[in-house]
Amino acid sequence: MPTKRIRVIVDTNLWISSLIGRQLGSLREILSYPNIELVMTERLLQEVLLVARRPKFAKYFHEDDVNQLQQWMEQNMTNVPLGEIPSRCRDPKDDYLLELAIQTKAVYLVSGDSDLLEMGTIGDCRIMTVQQFEQEILTMLFYH
């Protein structure tokens, strides 16, 4: 019987940090595990690409890096369309992530955004930093 996959959402700020190379080397590796399902929406993918291509980031990584990330994301993500997005967060730009978490029954929303982190949860989804996520998921995958 197949094991239920753990659905994970990763916020834009962490994808940009991973391109810059800050302490996130293992994030893509973890998200590639067979029992992890990276859930995204086209809006999140486009936001990552738009932010990554801002001129201020050109000194940190190349367009090739952005293209490789896009290819990796498209190969590894489950793309979920969203309908109407209700207001749930003090920063309305984050509401679509919360709606994605609810609609997909995600277990984790991983972010560096204080507006989201202060919420702690949305439905059954836990909102946490990448460090908390990596520690918890590695413990879950390898010690249980």
Enclosing domain of residue 68: 6-143
Counting the structural domains of the chain, the total is 1
CATH code, 126:
3.40.50.1010
Q: What is the pLDDT of residues 11-66, one digit of tens each?
A: 999 999 888 875 566 788 889 888 999 999 999 999 999 999 999 998 999 999 99
Q: Specify the pLDDT at position 139.
A: 82
DSSP letters along 63-132, please? HHHHHHHHHHHHHHEEE---------SSSGGGHHHHHHHHHHT-SEEE---HHHHTT-EETTEEEE-HHH
- Taking the model in full, what pTM does it have? 0.92
Task: Flag whether 1 is in a domain.
Answer: no
